[in-house]
Amino acid sequence: MWPSLWKRHKSKGFAEVDRKRIPCHIAIIMDGNGRWAHRRGLPRSLGHKAGVEALRVIVRACSQLGVKYLTVYAFSTENWRRPKEEVGVLMNLLTEYLRKELEELHGNAVVVKALGRIEELPQEAQTELFKAFERTKENPGLVLNLALNYGGRAELVEVVRKASQDIAKGVLEPEKLDEHSLSQYLYTAGMPDPDLIIRTSGEMRLSNFLLWQSAYSEIVVVPEYWPDFDEKALLQAIQTYQQRERRFGGLSKG
Ligand code: FPP
């Protein structure tokens, strides 16, 4: 089992996080691997490799904190535009991550899921993904959503397509369509929307991430490049979230 993060950070007095108000769903735009590498005179591939290490640390931390869902933007529908070699590196890292981490994730009760058009990923990556889904599907712990070949607009197109097909089949009545019934066609069907979206490396954009689901998410942008985002930075982002007042379009209580 993973050791207690809580004890370590409390004893070092790192962060005053309210344990009773941990966000249920955290989503992360893991940005800045390339710049992290560039700053060190390293190839971009080593930035992505360091990014996988950061992912390991953050998955473990979220599981220990009692976060129920963690969604990470690992590969967007737009990332195919990168040079072929870089796409290859990212796909190999994904395959390797799943191969190396599966037993540890499973041992710590994590459920592995994916959001996106995974049928367009290389066969090897798909094989490891399906192995991970199958192995971890009954686990009671953190749900780790890997957003892979994911695009928010592409997701909404799929929602419309599937809903139209159900209307044509007579399974769905157009008059009964509402936000709830439509959200059942999202990749995140049955999951709560993210409470907190963290973006690393200082960019203030959603970049086509969770367009529907982010309607009322609190967004925290941190300056660190993704490979430098660690447990302490996560606790600080959660603390920032806890200081926000969420009104969901209503009025302030104060
Ligand atoms: C953004 O950095 C990051 C990505 C496009 C990919 C995120 C991938 C990882 C963290 C590692 C892979 C993990 C798995 C499980 C596949 P960037 O390259 O856009 O950085 P830059 O904006 O500084 O160039």
Stated pTM of the model: 0.94
- The residue assigned the tokens 């950070």 is 9
Q: Is the pLDDT of residue 157 over 80?
A: yes
| Domain-located, residue 207 | yes
User: For residue 12, what pLDDT is reported?
Assistant: 58
Contacts (Cβ under 8 Å, ≥6 apart) of 114: 129, 133, 145, 146, 147, 148
Full strand arrangement of the beta sheet holding 218-221: 111-115, 143-150, 69-76, 25-29, 196-199, 218-221
- For residue 177, how far is its CA from the centre of ligand 1 (angstroms)? 37
What is the number of residues in the chain?
254
- Select from 31, 209, 228 the residue to mutate for testing ligand 1; criterion: most ligand atoms less than 8 Å from CB: 31
| Domain-located, residue 117 | yes
First to last CA, the chain: 43
User: For residue 45, what pLDDT is reported?
Assistant: 98
What lines the ligand 1 site, CB under 6 Å? 30-35, 48, 51-52, 55, 74, 79, 90, 93-94, 97, 226
| Domain-located, residue 67 | yes
Q: Report the domain count for the chain.
A: 1
Q: Is the pLDDT of residue 14 over 60?
A: no
| Domain-located, residue 56 | yes
Q: Is the pLDDT of residue 38 over 80?
A: yes
Check which CATH number belongs to the domain holding 73 and give it. Answer: 3.40.1180.10
Give catalytic residue positions. Answer: 31, 79
pLDDT band at 248 (very low <50, low <70, confident <90, very high): confident
Q: Mean pLDDT across the chain, nearest whole number?
A: 95
- For residue 139, how far is its CA from the centre of ligand 1 (angstroms)? 28
Residue type (1 letter), 108: N
pLDDT band at 16 (very low <50, low <70, confident <90, very high): confident
Contacts (Cβ under 8 Å, ≥6 apart) of 98: 112, 125, 128, 129, 131, 132
Each residue of 119-152: pLDDT tens digit? Answer: 999 999 999 999 999 999 999 999 999 999 999 9
Q: Is the pLDDT of residue 10 over 70?
A: no
| Domain-located, residue 75 | yes
**What is the rounded CA–CA span in Å between residue 114 and residue 127?**
13
Q: Is the pLDDT of residue 61 over 80?
A: yes
Which residue's C-alpha comes closest to atom 13 of ligand 1?
52
Give the residue numbers spanning the domain of 95: 21-151+193-242
Residue type (1 letter), 180: H
Each residue of 70-106: pLDDT tens digit? Answer: 999 999 999 999 999 999 999 999 999 999 999 999 9
Alpha carbon 70 to chain centroid distance? 5
| Domain-located, residue 5 | no
**What is the rounded CA–CA span in Å between residue 156 and residue 173?**
19
Which residue's C-alpha comes closest to atom 9 of ligand 1?
51
| Domain-located, residue 181 | no
**What is the rounded CA–CA span in Å between residue 158 and residue 94?**
24
| Domain-located, residue 7 | no
Each residue of 186-232: pLDDT tens digit? Answer: 999 999 999 999 999 999 999 999 999 999 999 999 999 999 999 99
User: For residue 11, what pLDDT is reported?
Assistant: 55
Each residue of 164-193: pLDDT tens digit? Answer: 999 999 999 999 999 999 999 999 999 999
Atom number, ligand 1, closest to the C-alpha of residue 93: 16
